[in-house]
Structure 1
Amino acid sequence: MTDDRLDENPEIGESVEETAPQERPQYGVGPFSVREVALVGVWLVAFVVSFFSIASEQAMSQLLFGGSVWSNGLDWILTIGAPTVAVFLIILRRFSPDGIRRVGSLGVDQFASVAFSVSAVVWLTVLWRDIAVAIQTGLWIYGWVVWVELVLMLAGVVLTVAAPFIPPFSEDFTGRREIVAHRNARPIRAVSPRPARPPREAAADADTDTAAFATGAYAQSDYAQPASTESGYTEQDAWAPAQTRDTFEPVDAETEPPSAAKAFWALTPEERDVVDERGVPIFRVGPTAWALVLEDRGEVFVVRNEDGRVGYLHDVSGVTRG
């Protein structure tokens, strides 16, 4: 996605950029940083080694099993498949910055940390099982491939999990632009207690029904009905309607329509990102131009850009309303 700016005065925008502190440049190999080159190299060696047989010569001589990790069921998914996907996304990110930015709620670097960590744990489990069997039977089931893969995956963990704390790999994480976190990675919402249900008035309803039944059944007597001549009943009354038109009282049916959200203009004290439903920035608002807010949702503003795009402004602190 692009990061558009609402700068109506370009001179002000240029002066702000000139006064911003200059960040230390990052050098690497081509478009890749030093950390990314080292990580790709570790993965490449691990990928080539994964095609060798993981069984030892002793196990293969006794016809126990053989073959690489690719031919042993689905073991390849966590051992080498997940790190391969992570490295592919890291390479793709350099050539297409607006491409795949997340895997679920994880960023590309976060997914790489998880992938290499899980792979290292799986290889460690295989090696632990091999040592346990060797202690009990004296037979080594797995060969040198397991040891090499474990060392390479641990190197991948260092280049992903511990890289922000190790120079010069930490330069790859310094000065990155801040964006709104994915909705699954944001703080959880508070859970409100359900309102208590009003007590049911079962006893009062039963008393009312009993009273109505008593008066309806025994209030009138069949022998007390007056004759038709005594009540003034005539033959014309039988054809008269019970109610004629325009005899009811008019009722004022005017209802107030629900108040719609009123749009207003807003001015942020500094440039802030306006994101879409997925949390990806689509344009920016700043102190040099008023932004049209379509709806105020409390902690979030629904903002409309000049080109018609609509996004969400999550940082609404210090906003001036116009």
Structure 2
Amino acid sequence: MNIRSLTRGDGGVIGAAVLLFIASFLEFHSYDCHGASDCPTGPNGWKSQLFPVLPSIFLAGIIAAALIVAARFQPEGRKLVGLSLDQWGTALAVFAAWSSLWTILGGPEGVSGPLIKIELSPGVGQILALIANLLLAAVAVLTPRTPALKAPLMGTPQPTPAPYGAPGAPAGYGYPGQGGMPGAGAPSPYGAPDQTQPYGGAQPGPQAQPGQPVQQQPQPAQAQAPQPAAAGGGEPFAPFWFAVPVGRPLFAEDGSPTQVSELVPGTWYLAVDQRGQALVAQTQDGRRGLLQDTSGIQRG
């Protein structure tokens, strides 16, 4: 579950649901007994005497918000009885708003007691429930059609690659340029390639500058280690560090849809092989998987 997938509209839905939950514990009706000492206390939304206020106004709105938010963490295209979760949530939010509106417009005006006449008026809980449900329904309907509401709720940190060993380089895991890299007097992070020699070579090679290819020195045939071939039989694949602009799933290497991990922004990962347009990536804990969406990645 990645909270970065939430939108601003989802934030508004969550806020409306919290307000609705609070309103359910406040007075739904306010009693005016004209100064009588034995005036009853107004019931809240959880009182059975107000049924079906609880399921049609409060629970309907809260469940609607839960369905809309849960849809962000489900695979795209998954449906329930022909509709996606956010579509069910939107329909339920509109129903809750409609119930709140008619309850406050068509509610009882008063009751007669044995000695006094008690006047009823909307309580704080009823008014807040109407506001919360109207807000919930409006945000649920407008989010798919409004770019401002579809924007990410949380900003995505953008990693800034720096030259190897340059001061101020990001401190993300395994970034090629930290003091812990080979050649800096400290052990290499797990799975990090030695930048002082070509991948798989036994002899040191020339240092690479960012954005420039490395000219490999010829090595004796017996000293060469096998190198993974690039897709299509081209040049051998050279492992490199990269970062993703947004959270992306890492699937099993066998090509199955099983998700083994999730790559998050602000962290450097090691690409150890290439399969077509996809990369075989290795995480901090040594797990490997297939990154199918490589658009916008930043190389270290």
TM bin (shorter chain): 0.3 to 0.5
- The normalised TM-score by structure 1 is 0.38
Considering Cα pairs closer than 8 Å and 6+ residues apart, tell me whether 1 or 2 has the greater RCO.
Answer: 1
**Which one has the bigger helix percentage?**
1
Question: Which of 1 and 2 has greater Rg?
Answer: 1
